[in-house]
Structure 1
């Protein structure tokens, strides 16, 4: 029993000597580390995929119901303003026009008859041969007949205008993106049968994720997919509400280049640099300088030959770089390699 106690005591003494030797070794030979200085950094670049759209794109439809009897254009065709694209069967409208003309002729004849009756009664009334009531009735009938003429004239004008609506014309110069109307198809008023992209400025349409919506940059670069074509782009509009399905915002960036270089419908990449509200206070450092031992992300700040743990906010990473926010000023030295081997307060040797 006594021999066992002496053995345990000896082991304890040896362990104590070992710890003291290790501690002394750490003091005499501190670990060598490389440091970097925190530098102010711009937010990282990020991209969105989109496609080229015309600044003005119009959905076209007839103002009348009817059956399409002519289709004069095809999708992708360039058209000039006032070109006829499709036409409706005009027979119904022609009959309505004939009816309106006949109604106007009848109204005029009734008005002439009513006016003649008024004039005859006026002559008899002046000689006191008819009651006043009879004359007043004649005056009222003549006025009503004139109003009927005006109504018939308005109906005729509507019928003449409707005859013009039988033809669907291009409202401006442009390219037809889509033509869905076909001969024999019966359409309702306002039903879309063609889509026209007006000539002029082109834009890129993208959908912005919810986390990127706030402070969306107003400037960027648009790159044509599969090519070297690129141009600056500026934010023109953002949808007022998120898409209920994707929870993303539709945004349009105007392409500041010749529209001929950007075919409609082309796939493009929009390159953006961070969010406008993320530029202040951001710093850049190697990704290897970050450490997380279960107490949050941080860095080892080297001060007076020793390291101390400083918590930071990780904003973004890309490849071998990280963007952070911290309470440390720019130029502060932090350990860049070997961060997992260090302890708070440990002495280190900074390599040149």
Structure 2
């Protein structure tokens, strides 16, 4: 009887499992309802606004040429210095003693050479002996000149008018040759670094900057503009940011710019030697941050699903954002529900209310 009960129970379990394992129809997820904007003719973009940052000009690492103990520091971080001003000194006891010895040796040989010169004229000194003394005097002069240089190497002087950025060493520390003691940057010139998108430079064939054109720079949060001159741009693409770094410069010690300040650069593309571009006006609701990557993206309708497309915002105003990128006339861009979209997700376009 027990065996029959077990058999019946096993049969029931198998029937239950068999029933659960039968294929069932899975209904597809419902399409997300979205609104879209149809892109028509693009707008011409003749001027663009770029973000930039104030950077120092000619940051220089200051170091001694010889080894020694740092006797004194004469400056502090942020201090303005003049060209030739002493910044730091090494203990010069040994170089000073070497200079005194070289000076005494040279003076001694100079007197001996003068006496021998008189005796040579009288035939009382051999020519070979006089020539040897002459060689010794020349060597003494070289040694004194070298000792003079060693004394100057114990002083660290500013190579230009500038500002002390940071101190890397403290007084009484031992420093090695070419070891950085402090950093110094120029105070009579200020640079601004900005990123030029590769999509813009790729349209410029044999780009030659207009040296006479001066872009206008505005410090965020401050009134007034500053005209700066194009200096250079990188030839290597920054793959992480997808842009080239360009540098503008302006001369003057009273520009009111500090390293690290955020600025905006208004660039007239044609005057700068760059081609004008075309962009599309979209509502701000169509833009979505790209998450871990810099910049924005839009969602473009392809059939009954969507795909993200990176774009660049070149202008922002009350009428919306003017963007450039991988979109073109005839594309339909999603303007609602962006946070719930995923690549290839099915959507249902609804008319705007």
Which TM bucket (shorter chain)?
0.5 to 0.7
Q: Map 1:76-225 onto structure 2 (within 5 A).
A: 76-108=78-110, 111=113, 122=123, 138-206=126-194, 208=196, 211=199, 214=202, 215=204, 220-225=215-220
Q: Which of 50, 54, 63 matches 1:51?
A: 54
Q: Deviations over 1:150-181 (max 9, x none)?
A: 22112112212322332222233332222323
Question: Aligned to 2:45, what secondary structure does the other structure show?
Answer: coil
Q: What's the C-alpha RMSD, in Å, of the aligned pairs?
A: 4.6
Give the helix-richer structure, 1 or 2. Answer: 1
Q: TM (normalized to structure 2)?
A: 0.58
Q: Deviations over 1:248-302 (max 9, x none)?
A: 644321248x65343322421333558654416x3656579x975459x9xxxxx
| 1:242 Cα deviation from its structure 2 partner | 5.3
User: Which whole-Å CA distance do the structure 2 matches of 1:279 and 1:268 have between them?
Assistant: 25
How many residues are aligned here? 267
Q: Paired residue for 1:3? A: none
User: Which whole-Å CA distance do the structure 2 matches of 1:239 and 1:335 have between them?
Assistant: 34
Pair 222,327 (structure 1): closer, same or farther in 2 beyond 3 Å: closer
Question: Aligned to 2:97, what secondary structure does the other structure show?
Answer: helix
Q: Paired residue for 2:344? A: none
The structure number with the bigger radius of gyration is 1
Pair 190,271 (structure 1): closer, same or farther in 2 beyond 3 Å: same
| 1:89 Cα deviation from its structure 2 partner | 0.4
Structure 2: state its 5+ residue gaps: 1-36, 287-298, 315-319, 335-353
| 1:188 Cα deviation from its structure 2 partner | 2.5
Q: Which of 236, 239, 242 matches 2:231?
A: 236
| 1:110 Cα deviation from its structure 2 partner | 5.7
Q: Paired residue for 2:246? A: 251
Q: TM (normalized to structure 1)?
A: 0.58
The answer to whether the 8 Å contact 2:300/2:331 transfers is: no
User: Which whole-Å CA distance do the structure 2 matches of 1:96 and 1:50 have between them?
Assistant: 50
Q: Deviations over 1:174-208 (max 9, x none)?
A: 32222323111222333332233333232213455
Q: Paired residue for 1:267? A: 261
User: Which whole-Å CA distance do the structure 2 matches of 1:188 and 1:105 have between them?
Assistant: 33
The answer to whether the 8 Å contact 2:201/2:274 transfers is: no
The answer to whether the 8 Å contact 1:48/1:208 transfers is: no
Q: Paired residue for 1:68? A: 70
Pair 320,267 (structure 1): closer, same or farther in 2 beyond 3 Å: closer
Q: Map 1:11-22 onto structure 2 (within 5 A).
A: none
Structure 1: state its 5+ residue gaps: 1-33, 124-134, 298-313, 329-333, 339-352
